[in-house]
Amino acid sequence: MEIKSIILRHIKMDLLTPFTTSVGTEVDKDIILVEAKSKSGLSGWAESVAITQPIYNEETVKTNWHMMSDHLIPLLFQESVKHPDEVSERFRSIRGNFNAKAAIEGAVWDLYAKEQNIPLAEALGGVKDKIEVGVSVGIQYSQAAILKQIEGYLEEGYKRIKVKIKPGWDVEILRAVRKEFPDIQLMADANCAYTLKDIEYLKQLDDFGLTMIEQPLDHDDIVDHAKLQAQLNTPICLDESIHTYEDARKAIELGSCRIINLKIGRVGGLTESKKIHNLCVEHDIPMWCGGMLEAGIGRAHNIAITTLSNFTLPGDTAPSSHYWAQDIIDPEVVMENGYIYVPESSGIGYEPNRERIEDVTLFSRVFHS
């Protein structure tokens, strides 16, 4: 592959509805788009999932811009890349900063798939032609409001409902949701809101037939999660705690979780995602693809990785219209009867809409190799 230049664009888009978790509320999204241009005239695209505040992980949009500009892009340009698997290896000397690494690597993956003239899903070893869609429901102002919202989502066809919880918005809400919708695939995501002191309290969740509870304890913990899992019937799913293949291996070994939520950005890219996927296959750990309120380009990457065989649970990759008045890709991501059909054209399979991207760009910078 001959990468001629990289363009970074800082874009900003309003979410259709604010999204509240146990750590904060997002009303709009600042996103860094990465475009990798080849000498052959093709462009590979990716977006960083970092948000403006370091409340999900330690990265932010600004730290990502710095890491990409001052460290990752210069490393990428040091020598040519034959296969995108080499990129994460080249970035290994840089600690952490997985969102930033994943965005650069993702653009190289898309470019690679386009040069091969195959869909990104195929380049990754995907096997599905459609993926199952779930939806993540933020914290609401009332129980009546969340019940009404979930009813609407079920009518739209979503196959799984994830309820964001925090102390004070947990047991009673889940009890009400389960009572109203006895048969749905239901789960809860705590985004680290509890500690081991809450074990007895969290045991009440076993009454609600949840598919899993996601990340109940600290963002950097795998030891206490193992202690909690030993006392809960409900499977624990880890999100924030898993950054690498090694984290996943250790969590599985300790019994810290029975399910893994994979986010490409959280683990530093698609190559590491494939490794974690294959590890989970070996250990019979089901997976699903998490979301970070992505715009269309990040969403397209999520669709591609979800086509791998072990993504057996519905993910958080909802259609474009769930988040945006207008997305930045053509066509937008749509859902039919709870499925997204995987595009068959090369690369990410959706065309970035340059006019729309121009409209939402605050500033940009070009790097030449």
Ligand X SMILES: O=C(O)CCC(=O)c1ccccc1C(=O)O
- Using the minimum distance from each CB to ligand X, give the nearer residue, 16 or 230: 16
- Given Mg ion, ligand X, none, residue 193, with its beta carbon under 5 to 8 Å by kind, binds none
**Residues between 2 and 21 that touch Mg ion (CB under 5 A):** none
Under the phi-then-psi rule, with left for phi > 0, alpha for psi from -120 to 50, and beta for the rest, what region is 93?
Answer: alpha
- Given ligand X, Mg ion, none, residue 60, with its beta carbon under 5 to 8 Å by kind, binds none
In 3D, which of 321, 325, 332, 364 has the Cα closest to residue 158? 321
- Using the minimum distance from each CB to ligand X, give the nearer residue, 52 or 117: 52
- In angstroms, give the least distance from the CB of 159 to ligand X: 14
Based on its alpha-carbon atoms, the radius of gyration of the chain, rounded to whole angstroms, reads 20
- In angstroms, give the least distance from the CB of 190 to Mg ion: 8
User: Is 2 a known ligand-binding residue?
Assistant: no
Q: Pick the binder of Mg ion from 30, 85, 170, 189 (CB under 5 A).
A: 189
- Given ligand X, Mg ion, none, residue 264, with its beta carbon under 5 to 8 Å by kind, binds none
- In angstroms, give the least distance from the CB of 32 to ligand X: 16
Rounded to whole angstroms, how far apart are CA atoms 296 and 348?
A: 10
Distance from chain centroid for Cα 313: 14
The answer to whether 194 and 218 have CB atoms below 8 angstroms apart is no
In 3D, which of 204, 212, 200 has the Cα closest to residue 172? 204
- In angstroms, give the least distance from the CB of 190 to ligand X: 9
- In angstroms, give the least distance from the CB of 313 to ligand X: 13
Label the pairing between strands 43-47 and 24-38. antiparallel
**Residues 6 or more apart in contact with residue 101 via CB below 8 angstroms:** 67, 72, 87, 88, 91, 94, 268, 269
Q: Which position's Cβ is nearest ligand X? A: 291
**Residues 6 or more apart in contact with residue 86 via CB below 8 angstroms:** none
What's the full length of the chain, in residues? 369
Among the candidate windows 38-46, 184-192, 244-252, 275-283, which touches Mg ion by CB under 5 A? Answer: 184-192
- Given ligand X, Mg ion, none, residue 291, with its beta carbon under 5 to 8 Å by kind, binds ligand X
- Given Mg ion, ligand X, none, residue 146, with its beta carbon under 5 to 8 Å by kind, binds none
59 near Mg ion, rule: CB under 5 A: no
Q: Among this protein's residues, is 263 annotated catalytic?
A: yes
Q: Among this protein's residues, is 62 annotated catalytic?
A: no
Catalytic residue among 29, 164, 166, 275: 164
**Residues 6 or more apart in contact with residue 158 via CB below 8 angstroms:** 133, 134, 135, 314, 318, 335, 338
- Distances in Å between the alpha carbon of 61 and those of 7, 33, 67, 323? 15, 11, 10, 19
User: Is 189 a known ligand-binding residue?
Assistant: yes
User: Which residues form the interface with ligand X (CB under 6 A)?
Assistant: 21, 56, 136, 189, 191, 239, 290-293, 316, 318
Q: What are the two backbone dihedrals, phi and then psi, of residue 102, each rounded to the nearest 5 degrees?
A: -65, -35
Catalytic residue among 37, 114, 166, 263: 263
The pair of structure tokens assigned to 352 is: 């970035």
DSSP letter at 315 equals: B
Please, what sign has the CA dihedral across residues 312, 267, 361, 120?
negative
Q: Which position's Cβ is nearest Mg ion? A: 239
**Residues between 209 and 248 that touch Mg ion (CB under 5 A):** 214, 239
- Using the minimum distance from each CB to ligand X, give the nearer residue, 112 or 194: 194
- Using the minimum distance from each CB to ligand X, give the nearer residue, 59 or 272: 59
User: Is 359 a known ligand-binding residue?
Assistant: no
- In angstroms, give the least distance from the CB of 164 to Mg ion: 8
- Given Mg ion, ligand X, none, residue 292, with its beta carbon under 5 to 8 Å by kind, binds ligand X
Rounded to whole angstroms, how far apart are CA atoms 213 and 349?
A: 33
User: Residue positions in the annotated binding site?
Assistant: 189, 214, 239
- Residue numbers annotated as active site: 164, 263
Q: Which residue ranges make up the site for Mg ion (CB under 5 A)? A: 189, 214, 239
User: Residue positions in the annotated binding site for Mg(2+)?
Assistant: 189, 214, 239
